[in-house]
Structure 1
Amino acid sequence: MAVWHWLFGDQLGPHFLRPGEDVAGPAGDAPVVMVEARSVFRRRRFHRAKAHLVLSAMRHRAAELGDRVHYVRAETYREGLRRTVGDAPVTVHQPTSRAADGLVRSLPNVRVLPARGFLVPAEAFRSWAGGRKQLRHEDFYRWTRHALGLLMDGDEPAGGRWNHDQANREPPPKHAATLGVAAPYRPRETDIDEQVRADLDRWERDEGIGFVGRDGPRTFPASRREALAALRRFVEHRLATFGPQEDSMLAGDAVMSHSLLSSSLNLGLLDPAEVVGAAEDAWRAGHVPVQSAEGFVRQVAGWREYVWHTYWYFGEDYRHRNALGHRAALPDWFLELDADAVTARCLSTVLAQVRDTGWTHHIPRLMVLGSHALQQGWDPRAVTDWFHRCFVDGYDWVMLPNVIGMSQYADGGLMTTKPYTSGGAYIHRMSDLCGGCAYRPGDRTGDRACPYTTGYWSFVHRHRSRLAANPRTARAVQGLDRLHDVEEVLRTRRRQDGNPP
């Protein structure tokens, strides 16, 4: 009896078929089953561009595999698998969500192979984490660099520093509408995209499956060939300028020098080893400065790996963490990506980017979207679900640690040493988003008080006991105590509450 190999929709690269020590026999030639399960899209109201990208990528991969693959469209994974393979044995690499992992392990005749698409094996992470009181990203990142020999000169880090953050936190150039770098790779749609779009239209019309956001021309790779082209384009033309302004924002340049490779990595179209290897090769060849190579390697080999492993290490209860006791519901304007309802230029601009593309880079995610949610006291599980649904690179494993831990501080400090939020001054310093805004970043009171500034001080006031006990946030409480108009600031904030900022 033939042994089938099951590919999930985020296991689309050749490394998910390549035989290895975790695959016995000629698995590289095994017949393949792929299941397009509509139930996934019934459970969550995904961004339309995300649904389009995932389905397009799956169908492109099926077209590449040709007669070797049985591509089945079904209501559920169970139904599709039953219709295709019956009682035949199946192998599958560990899925990337707890729900899918539980499913495959509950099925008879399914053998679960170790995860692929990551640099650090699970057992190696558990060995590193064992006995540590805190699992700090910086410690993990240095350990990973050393263990894998990434950007190393012998036992020392390339350029003499593990961390080039200080060189990678520059504000955007003054009076510039864009960063002025080469444009990123953008794919051309195919007949497959046209069929996906027609199917999504039919689902909305006939099956009651809803979406948010807009589905314009596909802007992210849906095939291995496109993903490799995007990687080459980034390394050859954009990586050199990535580092210094990776934390800055421009209203007219949403992508800056960012790689736009996260969706390709998370769909499995690219292997992280080839991505960080290309960045290191460019640095060693003298084509990019060390701070840009290091900043990018930190994102892929550091943060991405760290998030993947903490997702599994912290356990299922992690998603229920709510250390700050935030319970407020997300408002309709946020759920619907209604950027036009928002007056604050920074939030309106970023929300429009998400609405139109399903993507914005890590600083708008953290310091505009996440910071506002934190200041508002929105339920962290609902915020996590929103990020999962609305971003083309969002998956359960991606967004749970990023939102519960990094963005909303709902884990009380398991991942980060402080909550990440700020007043309008940070946004003003790191962007051009305050220019032309109806609010003033320095105003705490009055009709032009910046919602981020009043929100910041309201957050500090609400959690002052916790923040005062943390050495990294104690100064914020001291700053609150020095405000001569704190009561008026809080009254201004209360007047702002309940309305789009």
Structure 2
Amino acid sequence: MRRSARRLALVLGDQLSFDLASLQGLDPTQDVVLLAEVAEEAGHVPHHPQKIALIFSAMRHFAAALRERGLRVQYVRLDDADNSGSLPGELLRWADHFGAQEIHLTECGDWRLEQALRHCGLPIHWHVDQRFLCSREAFAAWAGGRKQLRMEYFYREMRRRSGLLMNGDGTPVGGAWNFDADNRKALPRGVRPPQPLRSAPDAITGEVLALVAARFSHHYGSLAAFDYPVTHAEAERLWAHFLAHGLADFGDYQDAMASGEPYLFHARISAALNIGLLDLRRLCADVEAAYWAGRVPLNAAEGFIRQLIGWREYVRGIYWLQMPEYAEGNAFGNTRALPAFYWTGNTRMNCLHQAIGQTLEHAYAHHIQRLMVTGNFALLAGIAPKQICDWYLAVYMDAFDWVELPNTLGMVMHADGGYLGSKPYCASGQYIKRMSDYCSGCAYKVSESSGESACPFNALYWHFLMRHRERLEHNPRLGMVYRNLARMDEARQQALWDWGERLLARLDAGEML
């Protein structure tokens, strides 16, 4: 006998929070929570198999936890015979099945999906996603009338609003709003990061891993090293481990990179946070408490909080303020295809080999590996923004459109023309040498800029600056760089240009660099 439902609440795979707005006030006897694994969301880009496994396993565990709390849950597995393959399809199917009087949803993290649900033909009660500190409407109000939106000013407003690391008189603790200048140290010899805390797959996760292996074997990336938390309790243990063993050194070494060390002092909690297994306010409170207790230095506490209430909230605001036009940004007119080695890691450039290799193994790379290695190369090589954006969305465990797109299109590729960031984050191989040990194990020489043994980043860096001189030379943050370029003699400039042209021609021909 079919049981009807007064309210049907659809919960998405990145909304696995017990405090989710659309889950509040449910009647266990009359209302139903719907969760669905669908092929469209798993395959609209070739998501890393570990990412798919994380979300499906976390969804199944969350459904079980909701049932334990007494709620009625309708769970649709990917391999269910009648699965329509899309979230709008499943919502329509189950709304009809239960004769639901009301449909409730919390705001999506993907403009594409939200539009599909808004136009599926059902009257939906939409709820604000209160997991974030700044609502879409509040960000739009902050942005209104401003000629430029700079994260630093938004971050200061968020600090004032939250009271985090603030003195009683309204000034920031330590006398400065951020301590980014203290957070750029390379990893010294002999300094070892803590051993990562791993979560062993249980029976539910094992079943999901088998499903993903069977259905998504054509996606790039390995399932073998899967060890991510899939429950709130596991995520809390990972967070506690970072507080005890990683946070104190996170500030100093958050930009560092090292061969064979994918995590260093990073928390690895971004995926758990983005799908709802951890609470933003709790994380910030814990970090602030650790500072006041004298367990961590200010540059570590402030740097971590800045990533959460500054950058993370800022890019979400940009996303919803500017979509869908934002996704089409291509300020430099890039058309080059993404090199094949982004999907395999097969390149003689050790920095890219390391960053991409660990991504394929763990679905993870930290922000500097993404910005200054894989992203920097894509920027210098003139890769089409949509191709590199789709790659980031596919391969990283924590990548959801609201956070991935502004970070990649805006910050990495500067394809929005400077709307999000005031300068392109371009660099030669010298930056990578300074912040890592990658160059010592590379087939190329970072001390050379042209010729077969030269680091490709070097000539491509100057080629990028020369080909975009008209757009960039008046940027005040690049003034010194262009003055250095002007001081080079013509023969030197021509040699860099010619070698850059040759490297780009090799990419176009599909040759391995």
TM class by smaller structure: over 0.9
CA drift of 1:28 comes to 12
Deviations 1:370-428 (A, max 9, x none): 00001110001111111001100011111110011100000111011110010011111
Aligned residue for 2:438?
433
Name 2:60's counterpart in structure 1: 59
Q: Partner residue of 1:43?
A: 44
Secondary structure (helix, strand or coil) at the match of 1:92 reads strand
Preserved contact between residue 225 and residue 362 of structure 2 (Cα < 8 Å): no
TM-score, structure 1 normalization = 0.94
Which of 81, 97, 117 is the equivalent residue of 2:91?
81
The AA in structure 1 aligned to 2:275 is L
Equivalent residue runs for 1:11-22 within 5 Å: 11-16=15-20
CA contact (8 A) 1:326 1:379 kept: yes
Corresponding residue number in structure 1 for 2:80: none
Match of 2:181 among 166, 175, 181: 166
Q: Is 1:458 matched with 2:463?
A: yes
1:481-500 deviation digits (Å, cap 9, x = unpaired): 22231211222223323233
1:41 Cα deviation from its structure 2 partner? 2.4
Asked if 2 retains the 8 angstrom alpha-carbon contact of 1:142 and 1:162, the reply is yes
Counterparts of 2:488 and 2:358, CA distance in 1: 35
Would the aligned equivalents of 1:283 and 1:289 in 2 still touch at CA under 8 Å? yes
1:250 to 248, 258, 278: 258
Question: Which residue among 69, 89, 108 is the counterpart of 1:95?
Answer: 108
Kept in 1, the 8 Å contact 2:36–2:76? The answer is yes
User: Which ranges in structure 2 are unaligned for 5 or more consecutive residues?
Assistant: 78-82
Superimposed CA distance per residue, residues 33-70 of structure 1 (whole angstroms, 9 cap, x where no aligned partner): 10111122232211111111111111111122236211
Q: Secondary structure at the match of 2:76?
A: strand
2:139 — aligned with what?
A: 125
Shift of 1:436: 2.5
Match of 2:380 in 1: 375
Residue 181 of structure 1: which of 193, 217, 224 is its match?
193
- One-letter amino acid of the structure 2 residue matched with residue 326 of structure 1: N
Look up the equivalent residue of 2:134 and give its one-letter code: V
Q: 1:474 Cα deviation (Å)?
A: 2.5
Aligned to 1:6: 10
| CA shift digits 1:285-320 (9 cap, x unpaired) | 111111100000011111110011110012210110
Q: Residue 311 of structure 2: which of 303, 307, 311 is its match? A: 303
Is the CA contact 1:442–1:449 (under 8 Å) kept in the aligned structure 2?
yes
Q: Does 1:423 align with 2:423?
A: no
The gaps in structure 1 that reach 5 residues or longer are none
In the other structure, the counterpart of 1:214 is 222
CA distance in 2 between counterparts of 1:279 and 1:29 reads 41
Q: Does the CA-based 8 Å contact 1:5-1:27 persist in structure 2?
A: no
1:31-430 equivalences under 5 Å are 31-66=32-67, 68-73=72-77, 74=83, 75-86=85-96, 87-88=99-100, 89-106=102-119, 107-154=121-168, 155-173=170-188, 175-176=189-190, 179-204=191-216, 210-334=218-342, 336=343, 338-339=344-345, 341-430=346-435
Aligned length: 488
Match of 2:494 among 483, 487, 491: 487
Cα displacement (A) at 1:30: 4.1
Alpha carbons of 1:204 and 1:387: their partners in 2 closer, same or farther (altered >3 Å)? Answer: closer
Q: What is the deviation of 1:470?
A: 1.1
Q: How much identity, in percent, do the aligned residues show?
A: 36
Equivalent-residue separation in structure 2 for 1:217 and 1:361 (angstroms): 17
Q: Structure 2: which amino acid aligns with 1:82?
A: L
CA contact (8 A) 2:111 2:323 kept: no
CA contact 1:104–1:112 (8 Å) conserved in 2 = no
Rounded Cα–Cα distance in structure 1 between residues aligned with 2:306 and 2:334:
31
User: Once the 2 structures are TM-superposed, how far is the Cα of residue 17 of structure 1 from its aligned partner?
Assistant: 5.7
- 1:148 partner amino acid: S
In structure 1, how many angstroms separate the alpha carbons of the residues matched to 2:374 and 2:150?
24
For the residues of structure 2 that align with 1:119 and 1:27, how far apart are their CA atoms?
Answer: 29
Contact 1:308–1:398 (CA under 8 A) maintained in structure 2: yes
Q: Deviations over 1:319-344 (max 9, x none)?
A: 1011111111112222x2x22x2001
Query: Take 2:380 and 2:232, find their aligned partners in 1: how far apart are those partners?
Result: 40
Give the TM-score normalised by structure 2: 0.91
